């Protein structure tokens, strides 16, 4: 891996080459798509219904903390009807009834939080189901005939023909033709995208529509296994897999609950020894206030809402683990082309070399680019026309086109009169000229380095043994990339740019974009080596990709974000798919992952901190009648032991619904170091978690004491 000296940079002269006027300006897909309402009336009503359905003990047992609260509700409910069911009791019946209702609402509020989070996912699944319909497919039979069949009968390997205005019947790869495809049903973007056979942009999704031309598509999924089917099952599935961090936190909370249960169960033995007894409703109230009910009631909702926030950015996460891993990322590997830069390298200038004239360079460049359908080739022809070059390309009519190959890094044409024209990477064309017995002009390398220093890409053009000059391909760093990489640096995340460009060009782009490191002349295996190296240092790595050659690296990375426009192999290897096919989306994914972890941590901190206030409310209330000295701990000045207990229970119940919006939306995230985040959250949610319950319980006590 090469590390650029970004501070030093590269000093070139002030000669500026003209930019191609048709340099595309891609739309920014990084805006937060969460413009829709967080919840609507139907969602709330459904969540209320689900809150009662979830009272089923078979479902509640999956959340041990709230299951304990539900058992407490059942016991106090029995005592409300039969006060002496578990032995003689001196507690007033109204107290049992009140405690019972408070515990019921505590469980219902927790269920409501989870149901509301699930409801958002189900609402999105419903909208996806509307785009999933049975489509009539034009199945191409082995004898070449077309047979009409339902899309539900298509299987992997079938070939279908899709013409203008028709829906693509299933996931597949374009094997013939080129077409403009409307993917708004999947991505929400109205602008159609080009899909063509070969390369990395041949993948199509079932349920999208062809708006121009005709393509042949080979189906790559069986019925029920399509991309849309997977999306629906993932976003609507309430039975999601818990993430490792969530499982670990749940284990800690369950352990705390078990410890406090042991304390509460053994407490009557000690109180009986010192001469007074604690009633069962009071013990249950103590237990509910001691255990971390707040975070226990919101933990599941936080995880579900975190997954939902990812889908708001049109990113399909294959599991919550992938989202969570994104929050712990240390290193991000990004392709230069299409990620850091706009990606369409456009011809910007022609520079003759040696004794070659500009007219000669124009003519032979035109011949070499005539059949080049890449953006570079097409922009070269366009620029020649703009420069007023009279292109007599009849000599290419009977010539043999030489396609570009990664091995040779050249393309061109062999004319019928035996002459050969080549265009490609400078070092590759130089070797080809040398093999033809030609010489290299003295100024060629200097001009090529000049282009590279300016962040462009030089392509050499030669005919037979004569080097004619260079084509200056210009790629532009996307606006705002430097600022975004600065944000990642503030998060403590290292950025590595991978590019096939030569080291000079790579260093210039790296300096301009502000990445930390770069890999020049990068091959697919180089990405895997870098990922493995970073992982061997104990770091988590994320990367983006869209091609088949990116699949191994996407699979190796801890977070692999594949483009929906990419190949099937890339999407299957990754654990996230970006429906907008915007490679810079990985930055948003990392932010969402960090927000998920931060939200869970902040609410856990708040939950544990506000337990401190509840201890000062309920423990003195339990003991100060028998032990008057305990009244010194009644620092809130609560009216009576009964009002103190009820106030703590009521606060314990109402704080859950009050925190639901925060759990759903997530804690506001600002790029900063982990230490700064920890200090900030401890100050807000730790200190605030202590103060809020003191004020809340006191206000509730003042209100309750009016009626008691």
Taking the CB of residue 477, how many other CB atoms lie within 10 A of it? 18
DSSP one-letter string for 628-697? GGGGGG-TT--S-HHHHHHHHHHHHHHHHHHHHHHHHH--------HHHHHHHHIIIIIIHHHHHHHHHH
Quickly list H helices, 197-243: 227-236
172-182 vs 203-204, strand pairing mode: antiparallel
- Choose the catalytic residue: 182, 335, 516, 558: 335
What's the rounded Cα separation, in Å, for the pair 264 and 652? 18
- Is 398 labeled as ligand-binding? no
215-219 vs 203-204, strand pairing mode: unpaired
- Is 229 labeled as ligand-binding? no
- Is 501 labeled as ligand-binding? no
What's the rounded Cα separation, in Å, for the pair 564 and 227? 10
Which residue(s) pair with 457 in the sheet?
A: 473
3-state secondary structure 63-117: CHHHHHHHHHHHHHHHHHHCCCECECCCCCHHHHHHHHHHHHHHHHHHHHHHHHH
What's the rounded Cα separation, in Å, for the pair 699 and 703? 6
What is the crossing angle of helices 280-290 and 641-665, to 10°? 30
- Is 407 labeled as ligand-binding? yes
Count of CA atoms in the C-beta half-sphere (13 A) of 173: 17
- Is 34 labeled as ligand-binding? no
The values of phi and psi at residue 550, to 5°, are: -85, -15
- Is 546 labeled as ligand-binding? yes
Asked if residue 704 lies in contact with residue 643, where contact means CB atoms within 8 angstroms, the answer is yes
- Is 405 labeled as ligand-binding? yes
Taking the CB of residue 486, how many other CB atoms lie within 10 A of it? 11
Residue carrying structure tokens 């493995």: 532
Per-residue burial over 80-114, b if 16 or more Cβ lie within 10 Å, else e, is beebeeeeebebeeebbbbbbbbbbbbbbbbbbbb
What's the rounded Cα separation, in Å, for the pair 603 and 12? 53
- Is 460 labeled as ligand-binding? no
Asked if residue 253 lies in contact with residue 242, where contact means CB atoms within 8 angstroms, the answer is no
Secondary structure element (H or E) that encloses residue 7, with its range: none
- Is 558 labeled as ligand-binding? no
Which residue(s) pair with 495 in the sheet?
A: 332
Does 501 qualify as catalytic in the annotation? no
The values of phi and psi at residue 495, to 5°, are: -110, 135
The values of phi and psi at residue 142, to 5°, are: -65, -30
- Is 40 labeled as ligand-binding? no
- Is 550 labeled as ligand-binding? yes
Binding residues for ATP: 372, 376, 404-411, 423
Binding residues: 372, 376, 404-411, 423, 546, 550
Binding residues for Mg(2+): 546, 550
User: Mind telling me the catalytic residues?
Assistant: 335
């Amino acid at each position: 891996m090469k590390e650029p000296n970004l501070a030093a940079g590269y000093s070139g002269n002030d000669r500026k080459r003209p930019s191609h006027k048709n340099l595309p300006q891609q739309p920014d897909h990084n805006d937060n798509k969460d413009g829709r309402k967080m919840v609507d009336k139907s969602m709330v009503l459904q969540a209320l219904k689900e809150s009662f359905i979830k009272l089923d003990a078979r479902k509640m047992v999956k959340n041990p903390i709230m299951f304990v609260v539900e058992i407490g509700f059942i016991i106090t409910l029995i005592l409300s009807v039969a006060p002496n069911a578990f032995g003689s009791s001196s507690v007033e019946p109204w107290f049992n009834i009140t405690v019972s209702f408070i515990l019921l609402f505590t469980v219902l509020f927790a269920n409501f939080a989870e149901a509301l989070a699930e409801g958002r996912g189900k609402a999105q699944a419903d909208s996806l189901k509307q785009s999933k319909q049975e489509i009539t497919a034009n199945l191409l039979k082995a004898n070449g005939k077309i047979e009409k069949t339902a899309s539900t009968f298509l299987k992997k390997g079938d070939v279908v023909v899709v013409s203008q205005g028709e829906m693509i019947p299933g996931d597949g790869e374009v094997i013939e033709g080129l077409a403009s495809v409307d993917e708004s049903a999947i991505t929400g973007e109205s602008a159609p995208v080009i899909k063509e056979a070969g390369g990395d942009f041949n993948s199509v999704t079932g349920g999208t529509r062809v708006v121009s031309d005709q393509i042949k598509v080979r189906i790559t999924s069986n019925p029920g296994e399509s991309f849309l089917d997977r999306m629906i099952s993932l976003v609507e599935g309430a039975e999601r897999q818990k993430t490792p961090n969530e499982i670990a936190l749940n284990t800690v909370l369950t352990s705390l609950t078990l410890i406090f249960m042991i304390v509460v169960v053994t407490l009557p033995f000690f109180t009986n020894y010192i001469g007074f007894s604690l009633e069962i409703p009071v013990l249950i109230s103590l237990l509910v206030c001691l255990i971390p009910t707040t975070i226990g009631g919101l933990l599941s909702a936080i995880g579900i809402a975190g997954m939902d926030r990812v889908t708001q950015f049109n990113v399909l996460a294959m599991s919550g683990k992938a989202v969570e891993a994104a929050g712990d990322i240390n290193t991000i590997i990004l392709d230069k082309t299409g990620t850091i830069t706009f990606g369409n390298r456009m011809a910007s200038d022609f520079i003759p070399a040696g004794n070659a004239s500009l007219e000669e360079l124009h003519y032979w460049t035109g011949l070499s680019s005539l059949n080049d359908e890449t953006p570079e080739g097409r922009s070269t022809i366009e620029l020649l026309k703009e420069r007023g070059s009279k292109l007599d390309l009849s000599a290419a009519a009977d010539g043999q086109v030489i396609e570009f190959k990664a091995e040779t890094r050249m393309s061109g044409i062999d004319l019928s009169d035996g002459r050969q024209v080549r265009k490609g990477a400078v070092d590759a064309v130089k070797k080809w000229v040398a093999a033809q017995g030609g010489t290299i002009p003295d100024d060629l390398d200097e001009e090529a380095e000049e282009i590279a220093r300016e962040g462009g890409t030089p392509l050499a053009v030669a005919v037979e043994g004569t080097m004619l000059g260079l084509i200056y391909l210009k790629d532009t760093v996307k606006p705002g990339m430097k600022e975004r990489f600065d944000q990642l640096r503030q998060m403590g995340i290292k950025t590595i740019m991978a590019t096939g460009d030569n080291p000079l060009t790579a260093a210039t782009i790296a300096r301009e974009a502000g990445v930390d490191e770069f890999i020049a002349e990068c091959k697919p295996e180089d990405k895997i080596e870098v990922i493995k190296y970073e992982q061997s240092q104990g770091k988590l790595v994320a990367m983006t990709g869209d091609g088949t050659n990116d699949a191994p690296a996407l699979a190796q990375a801890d977070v692999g974000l594949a483009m929906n426009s990419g190949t099937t192999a890339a999407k299957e290897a990754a654990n996230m798919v970006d429906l907008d096919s915007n490679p810079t989306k990985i930055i948003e994914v990392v932010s969402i992952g960090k927000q998920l972890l931060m939200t869970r941590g902040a609410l856990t901190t708040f939950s544990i901190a506000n337990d401190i206030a509840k201890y000062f409310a309920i423990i003195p209330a339990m003991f100060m009648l028998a032990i008057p000295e305990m009244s010194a701990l009644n620092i809130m000045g609560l009216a009576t032991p009964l009002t103190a207990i009820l106030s703590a229970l009521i606060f314990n119940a109402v704080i859950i619904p009050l925190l639901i919006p925060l759990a759903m939306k997530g804690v506001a995230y600002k790029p900063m170091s982990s230490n700064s985040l920890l200090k900030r959250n401890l100050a807000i949610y730790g200190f605030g978690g202590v103060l809020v319950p003191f004020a809340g319980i006191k206000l509730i006590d003042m209100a309750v004491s009016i009626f008691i």
